[in-house]
Structure 1
């Protein structure tokens, strides 16, 4: 397709709102997913570090998961 001007390109023959709205919603979903993945990774790394610090180093008594995460 060829457009004679930028306004014709943005309107996309009357379907511009649907087309550009679809791109906006898709971009928003991808951005939210990236934020959630980064947050989950950070929380997992923190939990693993806390678990490593709480793990017994010798032959002492084992602790339950509830005790570790308190």
Structure 2
């Protein structure tokens, strides 16, 4: 147990490792859904372009 908030944040001398680990974990947890959403938008955009290209090909024949 910690006797003060300063001891808690110091984490027994391992504060840099502990808090940077929490920070990296938080960034990954935030970035993953954002990355998935961006990839989904890119895939949908590419599929729409492919459908337009196929329509154009079928109309030009």
For Structure 1 versus Structure 2, the TM-score category normalised by the shorter chain is 0.5 to 0.7
Q: RCO greater where, 1 or 2, for CA within 8 Å and sep 6 or more?
A: 1
RMSD: 2.5
Where does the alignment leave 5 or more consecutive residues of structure 1 unmatched?
63-70
Q: Give the number of aligned pairs.
A: 60
List per-residue Cα deviations over 1:27-47 (Å, max 9, x = no partner).
Answer: 223333333322211111111
Where does the alignment leave 5 or more consecutive residues of structure 2 unmatched?
none
- Could you list the structure 1 runs, at least 4 aligned residues long, displaced by more than 6 angstroms after superposition: none
Q: TM-score, normalised by structure 2?
A: 0.68
